[in-house]
Structure 1
Amino acid sequence: MKSKKKIKKKYFNNNFTSITTGYINMTNHGYAFVNIEGFQKDIFIPKNKTNRALEGDLVKIKLNKKNRHRKGIKIEGEVLKIIKRKNKKFIGILKINLHLNSKYGSVIVYNNSIHVDIFIPIPINNIKKYHNNDKVLVKIISWPKELKNPLGKIIKIFGKSGEYQTEIDSLLEQYGISYKFSKKIENEAKKIYLKKNLNKNNIRKDMRSINTFTIDPLNAKDFDDALSIRKLNNDIWEIGIHISDVSFYVKEGSLLDKEAYLRSTSIYFIGKVIPMLPKILSNDLCSLTPKKDRLSFSYIFNINNKGKILNNWFGKTIIQSNRKFTYEEVQKIIENKKGDFYEEIYTLFLFSKILTNKRLKNGSIYLDKDEIKFHLDEKNNPISLRLEKNNDAHRLIEEFMLLANRKISEFVSLNCNGSPSNKIFIYRIHDKPDFQKIFLLKKIIEPLGYFLDFNNLKNSINFLLKKIKGKSEQNMIENLILRSMSKAKYSTKNIGHYGLSFFYYTHFTSPIRRYSDIIAHRLLHYYLINNNNYHNNNNDKTYKLKKIEFYEKQSQYCSYKERLAIDAEREFIKYIQIKYIQKFLGKEFYGIITGFTDWSIYIDLLLFQTEGMVRLRDIKEDYYILNSNEYSIIGKEKRKIYHLGDKVKVKIIDINMEKKKIILSWIENK
């Protein structure tokens, strides 16, 4: 990093040419800022000097000579040339107008990627093809100097804005997510399916005679994992955690493997799944369906009644699930203490409680958020919602999957020949939280009567989570805790998992829907068949470095695709929430204040678990201004203060489907 003195000399001496380049950040108002690498201030670009630049473009700019040498003021410039457009394609809503007996349209883009509408000349012979309020993909083809708006061409029509399939298709386009598999991929999957090679030789341990079952959501079709259990004597049980052996069918380097890697994850929209693998594999051959022989990669261990694991075994197996259970069915068996496989299920439940208590004692953070579930009608319109809480059945499965992921990671890292630092493996890592974010969390919750102890942070967070259970501010504080945490990711460089308090952890238990788990399967299998050695020629440092680089690149890509999938899923949930809330226009609800700006208040509607906004100027009971701490507002006359977390009453007065915004009015709160 250059010193300020050198930077100043570079940009302000008499020999300095005022032409430079940088990336432009547009505002909704039309003016912009350009960030110049190594420069202490962004360059301000007035509205009339942006020269048709768009958000993120690489531009050549000229600094304004009049204020180049002045200190303490913003430095102005103008865009001379667009070197490279960041985007030429945009998704927006088509608006068609009738003008001089010919039709033309404009596409309104509702995100921050472009600050102007795109003008669309619509040929007369294509008029019937387009409809007002269609959601479309448009490409900018030119931007004449004499026009305020660029000219574009519609290259894809998704359908009427706000409709279920339209929103899915446009989201997939926006995030660059593949939907359909090519014929080549489907044919390769079909060939694998028709072979149905179960490899029933001595390589696999035969577990088909042991009671085995799956526990999944009601509408699940891809069953990654199954549990088996049998009693060995009065004190010892054998438990098997069986994971679909996807890597046996999806060979590294095949077309199917390359496609799975490109997708990296299945995506779960409400009412629809975009699978990582073709359905003939994900829902059939690789799925651990009941009454069928299935190949699995298993972790099998003996455990005594006190929850002490006595030994471990990892390897390839063949299983047959006796039955598929739903979470609801297992929960009833646990509560009523009767039903199919009662002894096995209740024993697993008791062991899961022991595992949970050990994990919490070791410092694992126990964040157990409610999940929003929608019921859709036959046209995929949301007709009801519920908040689904994790029950004992959910926690049973979660605990055994956590155990398998931890034990497999420990096995590779500690039990294979060589030191842990020499191992190549894919870890699921989670860094410590950012201190500034935790400090901000502390400042926000203190006025609500809650505290955090920085010296014992994990236990303090767990105590806070218990204390807010059932309180109106629970959802807000849980979201604040989540935002204060680092994002978990994949890496070959292990730093441990902060949130779980595991030093060794991986993802192994969902290979049908996560490519990271396929990588873990392949690496574990490699170590097992090579007698725990990394490579027969372990001294070949060049080879090892190349493999580390290869797996680290795959890890980073899986992390990137995971974030894209999460963002897409959240955006779709927001769309469903907004569509559902439309029917409640004019109704009053209670909410929790979750944020303030200079001009608005954000409120989490308790019934819907989604945010709406009230403009400060629309509050009639007083004139409110933002306090300097930015965590409260105060009335100018009555001096009443509202804090983050306060419960208030509001009315839903408007819904903006495209911006996914809920506009609220303030009901006077006494």
Structure 2
Amino acid sequence: MKSTKNNPYKEVLTKLILGVFEKSSNQLFNYKQVASKLNLSDTDSKVAIADILHEGVESGVFSQPERGKFKLRQLNVYITGKVDMTADGSAYIVPDDELEDDIYIAPRKLRQALHGDMVKVHVYERKKKSRKREGEVVEILQRAKTDFTGTIDISKGYAFFLADDRKMLHDIFVPLDHLNGAQDGEKVVVSITDWPANAKNPVGKVKSILGKKGENDTEMNAILADFGFPLSFPKAVEEAANAISEGITKEEIAKRRDFRDTLTFTIDPVDAKDFDDAISFKTLENRHYEIGVHIADVSHYVTPDSILDKEAFERGTSVYLVDRVIPMLPERLSNDLCSLRPREDKLCFSAVFEMDDKANVHDQWFGRTIIHSDRRFTYEEAQEIIETKSGDYADEIRKLNELAQILKERRFKAGAISFETEEVKFRLDENGKPLGVYAKVRKDAHKLIEDFMLLANRRVAEFIGKQGRGKNKLGFVYRFHDVPNPETLTNFSQFASRFGHRLTIKSDKETAKSLNALMTKIEGSREQNLLTTLAVRSMAKAIYTTKHSSHYGLAFDYYTHFTSPIRRYPDVMVHRLLQFYLEGGAKVNIEHYEKMAEHASQMEKKAAEAERASIKYKQAEFLQDQIGVKYTGLVSGVTEWGMYVEIAENKCEGMVRLRDITDDFYTLDEKNFAIIGQRKKKVYQLGDEVQIKVKKVDLEKRQIDFTLLS
């Protein structure tokens, strides 16, 4: 063995050599001494060690202070972080330590790491101060995923799998005896089973067959599988749910506060199947109002560490795609036992408030209840009652709306931020094909429910969060929303000024007040959706945590999620903790709950990404038959390879590629959110109105290409 090039043992030997130097810091060794430390006496091994040491000097791993003697560079460090793959096969490692800069990894130094993997990286000493730090992956700590969705390509003697994920740059080799019935060209899920050290491609097997490319069910299931959401419940989970009795015993009712004789109703979307919240209303003798926020008592049916609980925890959340809901709980629970359907006795966990005409809370109570909903309203029905002042329970609904309006005004006065983003909805035929696109409108009936849910969430969090101090503080799961990054806000302010809008950035409260004024001013304008989207992007992302923290966007010192346990696992955790403390409990394993909260935050993010992917697919499908059709759009994003344009009338977004703009050579001006022609200095900036036509649609990649019309 004269060289270590293409030697499958090189990686192992390199790690052993590094170990020798790490154990003897600052010592110099020649290749013979290293071989002796490793008990390797044969000539081939010594030559291999010498090669690795000399290569290490070239790459910056080792220095050679004396001829033939080597030393591990002391400035070199190991960091752990996440792989962020680029289109050219190189990657950046985003360190766990947020204060660290990203590390550049050349393609040949990735050592089979894939996008999103957690890895250990050896960081080289900078050769020049101006250059970005570089390194190489020395260990893959955790795969982000081993299952991928894509297309199987079967040849006579072998098959290859091409992943839909654009950041999965390796085709997967699939032996013919691992096809599991897949046919050429079908969409499938493939699981990586092996990746030999000297192999270019990983080896895998077909895990499941999704179906024919381009069919609605196939593509929606592919999106779910790609983000790691299961397409069905395991048989044992379904059986456990179906085995639960729907009867409510007298003993159970005796433990609960009975609201069955109090007027109670639900207000939900017209197509809702799981009703997880209800409102009760009663006028008291002192002319105050008793208002109950009643939430399905999922924790009564889903007990800790049961098979149902483990499945719900893993999923973390229900997933809402364009044409379907993938529930967190089996249908027996989500649409039956826990759904607060009208004219049925249902078990709830409730927050009950005594309020006056000015929406001041005089008293509150939290605990388990039993209710009987008198009526199921759709948002449209409730809105008509608010507007016409007539209909079932009109006086009660109008009074609730008045109180909700006061709660909302009080919230905004305290510094809450109002973002009215347009939610894209599709009109679909029976096969899921989009016939039209429209923006969902939120009216008072939506906000009525929202404000009472916010009240319950805040008051539950305060009730627990304000008890105890220091070591005696009660452990709990909060919803945390951090203050925005000042630099990001300043960039947004500068951009908004191009439309003639001014944003004051001072204290958190003043900034929020200024943002609200801006959101009110742009309502109905052509730039509303663009500026609102950018404003939302400038905000920090909300997460779940056990560390008590305020919610900047809502201007609440304490906030949690209590109101949707059918579709969010953190709400189940909150119900359990609240009941534990109501029964006199004092201590919980807070580290355990923090890990659960982190998992819930990750699954929430994945669910949002899956929802966006389904919207992108339906937008592409909607425009598939409109090649050549002209539209007016707004520039919604700029990159080094093109500019994104959002069509004004249907909110579909596509790209105008720079190579297709032929009147000049355009480059990105990142600071000013623009692309600029180098000769004529023509500028296309975020928010500019442009005329485009649909050029090409790639359904498989969920990509829409536009041509810019001069």
Q: TM-score, normalising length from structure 2?
A: 0.81
Q: Does 1:45 align with 2:96?
A: no
**CA apart distance, 1:652:** 0.9
RMSD value over aligned CA atoms?
Answer: 3.6
Q: Does 1:457 align with 2:511?
A: yes
**Alignment partner of 1:280: what SS?**
helix
**CA apart distance, 1:397:** 0.4
Moved more, 472-481 or 593-602: 593-602
Letter in 1 for 2:187: D
Q: 1:611 aligns with which of 653, 662, 666?
A: 653
Moved more, 85-94 or 18-27: 18-27
**CA apart distance, 1:121:** 5.5
Letter in 2 for 1:16: K
Residue 533 of structure 2 aligns with which residue? 479
Residue 539 of structure 1 aligns with which residue? none
Task: Tell me how far apart the structure 2 counterparts of residues 59 and 288 of structure 1 sit (CA, whole Å).
Answer: 46
Moved more, 620-629 or 254-263: 620-629
Alignment of 1:245-260 (within 5 A): 245-260=297-312
Q: Are 2:465 and 2:548, in contact at CA under 8 Å, matched by a contact in 1?
A: no
Residue 71 of structure 2 aligns with which residue? 16
Task: Tell me how far apart the structure 2 counterparts of residues 158 and 469 of structure 1 sit (CA, whole Å).
Answer: 43
Alignment of 1:534-545 (within 5 A): 534-535=585-586, 544=587
**CA apart distance, 1:203:** 2.9
The Cα offsets for residues 460-481 of structure 1, whole Å up to 9 and x where unpaired, read as 1111111221122211111111
Residue 217 of structure 1 aligns with which residue? 269
Task: Tell me how far apart the structure 2 counterparts of residues 37 and 214 of structure 1 sit (CA, whole Å).
Answer: 45
**CA apart distance, 1:373:** 1.3
Q: Are 2:93 and 2:104, in contact at CA under 8 Å, matched by a contact in 1?
A: yes
Task: Tell me how far apart the structure 2 counterparts of residues 656 and 508 of structure 1 sit (CA, whole Å).
Answer: 41
**CA apart distance, 1:110:** 3.6
Letter in 2 for 1:650: I
Q: Does 1:93 align with 2:143?
A: no
Residue 137 of structure 1 aligns with which residue? 190
Task: Tell me how far apart the structure 2 counterparts of residues 36 and 330 of structure 1 sit (CA, whole Å).
Answer: 50
Q: Does 1:314 align with 2:366?
A: yes
Moved more, 494-503 or 279-288: 279-288
Residue 597 of structure 2 aligns with which residue? 555
Alignment of 1:46-125 (within 5 A): 55=115, 89-96=147-154, 102=156, 105-120=159-174, 122=176
Letter in 2 for 1:280: R
Task: Tell me how far apart the structure 1 counterparts of residues 95 and 352 of structure 2 sit (CA, whole Å).
Answer: 57
**CA apart distance, 1:168:** 3.0
Task: Tell me how far apart the structure 2 counterparts of residues 234 and 86 of structure 1 sit (CA, whole Å).
Answer: 59
Q: Are 2:190 and 2:204, in contact at CA under 8 Å, matched by a contact in 1?
A: no
Moved more, 211-220 or 368-377: 368-377
Alignment of 1:150-549 (within 5 A): 152-197=204-249, 199=251, 201-232=253-284, 235-414=287-466, 416=467, 422-455=473-506, 456-530=510-584, 534-535=585-586, 544=587, 547-549=589-591
- Cα distance change of structure 1 residues 421 and 607 upon mapping to structure 2, 3 Å threshold: farther
**Alignment partner of 2:498: what SS?**
helix
Moved more, 585-594 or 213-222: 585-594
**CA apart distance, 1:556:** 1.9
Letter in 2 for 1:560: Q
Letter in 1 for 2:613: E
**Alignment partner of 2:427: what SS?**
strand
The Cα offsets for residues 337-365 of structure 1, whole Å up to 9 and x where unpaired, read as 11111111111111111111111111110
Residue 709 of structure 2 aligns with which residue? 667
**CA apart distance, 1:55:** 4.9
Q: Are 1:198 and 1:295, in contact at CA under 8 Å, matched by a contact in 2?
A: no
The Cα offsets for residues 36-86 of structure 1, whole Å up to 9 and x where unpaired, read as 999989566366x8777655679999999xx99688678999999999977
Moved more, 72-81 or 208-217: 72-81
Letter in 2 for 1:553: K
Task: Tell me how far apart the structure 2 counterparts of residues 37 and 286 of structure 1 sit (CA, whole Å).
Answer: 40
**Alignment partner of 1:240: what SS?**
strand
Task: Tell me how far apart the structure 2 counterparts of residues 79 and 174 of structure 1 sit (CA, whole Å).
Answer: 25
**CA apart distance, 1:405:** 0.8
The Cα offsets for residues 316-343 of structure 1, whole Å up to 9 and x where unpaired, read as 2221111101001111111111111111
**CA apart distance, 1:194:** 4.2
Letter in 1 for 2:152: L
Q: Are 1:231 and 1:237, in contact at CA under 8 Å, matched by a contact in 2?
A: yes
- Cα distance change of structure 1 residues 53 and 287 upon mapping to structure 2, 3 Å threshold: closer
Letter in 1 for 2:487: Q
Q: Are 1:224 and 1:244, in contact at CA under 8 Å, matched by a contact in 2?
A: yes
Letter in 2 for 1:485: M
Task: Tell me how far apart the structure 1 counterparts of residues 571 and 166 of structure 2 sit (CA, whole Å).
Answer: 35
Q: Does 1:579 align with 2:621?
A: yes
Q: Are 1:369 and 1:389, in contact at CA under 8 Å, matched by a contact in 2?
A: no
Q: Are 2:153 and 2:162, in contact at CA under 8 Å, matched by a contact in 1?
A: yes
Query: What is the aligned length?
Result: 641
**Alignment partner of 2:243: what SS?**
helix
Give the percent of matched residue pairs that are identical in Structure 1 and Structure 2.
Answer: 40
**Alignment partner of 2:631: what SS?**
strand
Residue 28 of structure 1 aligns with which residue? 87
**CA apart distance, 1:11:** 4.9
Task: Tell me how far apart the structure 1 counterparts of residues 152 and 316 of structure 2 sit (CA, whole Å).
Answer: 33
Q: Are 1:118 and 1:140, in contact at CA under 8 Å, matched by a contact in 2?
A: no
Task: Tell me how far apart the structure 2 counterparts of residues 497 and 420 of structure 1 sit (CA, whole Å).
Answer: 23
Letter in 1 for 2:183: Y
Task: Tell me how far apart the structure 2 counterparts of residues 246 and 43 of structure 1 sit (CA, whole Å).
Answer: 47
Q: Are 1:89 and 1:140, in contact at CA under 8 Å, matched by a contact in 2?
A: no
Structure 1 unaligned regions, length at least 5 = 1-5, 536-543
Letter in 2 for 1:313: W
Q: Are 1:26 and 1:55, in contact at CA under 8 Å, matched by a contact in 2?
A: yes
Q: Are 1:413 and 1:419, in contact at CA under 8 Å, matched by a contact in 2?
A: no
Task: Tell me how far apart the structure 2 counterparts of residues 181 and 435 of structure 1 sit (CA, whole Å).
Answer: 44
Letter in 2 for 1:245: D
**Alignment partner of 2:589: what SS?**
helix
Task: Tell me how far apart the structure 2 counterparts of residues 554 and 13 of structure 1 sit (CA, whole Å).
Answer: 49
**CA apart distance, 1:601:** 1.3
**CA apart distance, 1:274:** 1.6
**Alignment partner of 2:558: what SS?**
coil
Task: Tell me how far apart the structure 2 counterparts of residues 82 and 506 of structure 1 sit (CA, whole Å).
Answer: 36
**Alignment partner of 1:192: what SS?**
coil
Task: Tell me how far apart the structure 1 counterparts of residues 300 and 254 of structure 2 sit (CA, whole Å).
Answer: 16
Q: Are 2:194 and 2:203, in contact at CA under 8 Å, matched by a contact in 1?
A: yes
Q: Are 1:46 and 1:78, in contact at CA under 8 Å, matched by a contact in 2?
A: no
Q: TM-score, normalising length from structure 1?
A: 0.86
The Cα offsets for residues 162-183 of structure 1, whole Å up to 9 and x where unpaired, read as 3222223323332322343333
**Alignment partner of 2:624: what SS?**
helix
Task: Tell me how far apart the structure 2 counterparts of residues 505 and 344 of structure 1 sit (CA, whole Å).
Answer: 27
**CA apart distance, 1:570:** 1.8
Q: Are 1:139 and 1:154, in contact at CA under 8 Å, matched by a contact in 2?
A: no
Task: Tell me how far apart the structure 2 counterparts of residues 9 and 142 of structure 1 sit (CA, whole Å).
Answer: 28
Letter in 2 for 1:45: A
Task: Tell me how far apart the structure 2 counterparts of residues 86 and 265 of structure 1 sit (CA, whole Å).
Answer: 19
- Cα distance change of structure 1 residues 433 and 122 upon mapping to structure 2, 3 Å threshold: same
Letter in 2 for 1:502: F
Moved more, 55-64 or 557-566: 55-64
